[in-house]
Structure 1
């Protein structure tokens, strides 16, 4: 049972994950004589005084879906919850176009080193076990980050605490929801924040949004956050609809000098062309999600990409595809011919094809890397294993419709 902590959020940064946890102590029992300074909170039978919290940082790394330590969070379960979350947003609230990890897609639990020292009275179990979805949402000209976390939970409803709850409501199905609309000072400036926490028989759901400034506007009202966390499809025991695909995954290579991100319309146009050409050049290939379902590349890169599992009559492999425009100085040089494992050729129309074999096993397979630099300087890159012919990918990447 966990009743003495509230997460402050999880910040993701390419290779390093740092959890920032705000800790507040809640008395385990019910105080008979409450301090006179504690005021009533609507819906709360017991109100405990606010206590000064503290924060700390701890390194961790991303886990995986279908983790036996958290059997409820399968890949398809994460995908179903992500869809439910996005559909629970008000119709006039838009999700900002971004990479999957910033598009309200529930991520695997973070894994922390065994025996790591966190802080006095705080254990790894206290800060782990939740799957978080993050993104930026907007209503009109008002935008703000939104984070929603879901975890398995069977504890008792904790007493209300000042400065953490300003209203408690009980839904018809018994779900208890605590909400807060407040301004707090941190790092020398005010922050307007709204939170909602739902307690059910088996699940704890926490939603939070904030903007800097005491008068900062937020796109989601308190009642809308309450509705989001009360969504029964976000419970750990909610059934996954048949045919639910795995969630989209972050992809795309790091670029030191990123250009402006591609627009949503551009990514969708390139995806439609890719799907059309895929059916022509790899008609017998089956993927676990539509090949044209591209996402915006991560790490600030101006690319459209995807990672899928592909099956063909000759084998199966994980395939990554990235389409971008970048500084390609040197890509048209033939010097790469002399590099170990690398070959480069130029097609009659000026398209440059570079291939490299990597003997390092990836998923039990040797990895192949292929890039096709089109005359327009659009770069199409593939990474794959057995089951796909490189020549088919060259034809795919050279076909009409993929120029950025």
Structure 2
């Protein structure tokens, strides 16, 4: 039992982690939102296990500093067979922890009711001459799931309820909502954000069913007066996020107010200079609705929750421990399993902190945060053999049996009855 460090294993583990990160980003980009997020995140961590396992195996084949030459001669074939087991372990643990992370605890309500509040003031004739905001609203309604409810409000000097909260589960209701949107036209008047938000809250309070959360999408191109701290308190109390879209805003006080509304209620602000991009922005808001995975930013009403922050970190700790244990199983070495497992606890804690406090609304920076988290997972585990002593100790019966030396004949039994030839 001694402390060892295989620098080649550290290097290959980091390379394996970097390759796994690239594959994981492709997985998130193409399948997250198309496949169940629980399965996608499980596959993400299974890919990390595969990358680190392959890198570690190749490093020990070249320089078996941790397992010794006897491992390479006798047990290398077994290690290749055990590698899929480590991948399956991470797949299962990743799926389990993502499932727990997506559960809604306490009074938390999943967002199912969506209220679109659309600026119809006269200035929209210049900001959106092609009425792209209406087509964007129609496209979003057609994209929504059947368990959603949707309402449509317009506002200028006054707010008008075009369509109250309507369930999209019933046949024909989706066409009813889109038909109501088709009747909308730009009016003349100012921008009364206060009245629009007040009327949107009335719609939610009057029609939102118990156990369902609500969200508001507010689009405007103008400047208005609003006491955010006072007039938005009801939204804060109900946990209703207001996602704001600023269209072609030239006066800096306009974006400042919309940003304040979004920040106060836990929503996001989107700055749009081209009205033709509105459909993409509406779709992006909906796709981020309730987004909560272990490796992406929380965008639902748990965004600032310390409980879900702690749960993310704890989940990464368990995933790191499983990764280290799986690597020890690959090498069929109980001492390595212990060392790598403890290293996985530390690396998972560091990776969890990195994800929890590093993820933001910026896509490229989020990718870099995930890269750092994966490198912490793989690198710290590989370093831990320099802290926790390791030696040869097989996990399987086969390993223990093959390492037993066969006794020599002269060492087996005493030679009773034999006399020396001397003296005769």
Same fold, TM-score > 0.5, yes or no: no
Structure with greater strand share of residues? 1
TM-score, scaled to structure 1: 0.24
Q: Which has the higher helix share?
A: 2
TM-score by length of 2: 0.23
Tell me which structure has the larger Cα radius of gyration: 2
Bigger relative contact order, structure 1 or 2 (CA pairs below 8 A, ≥6 apart): 2
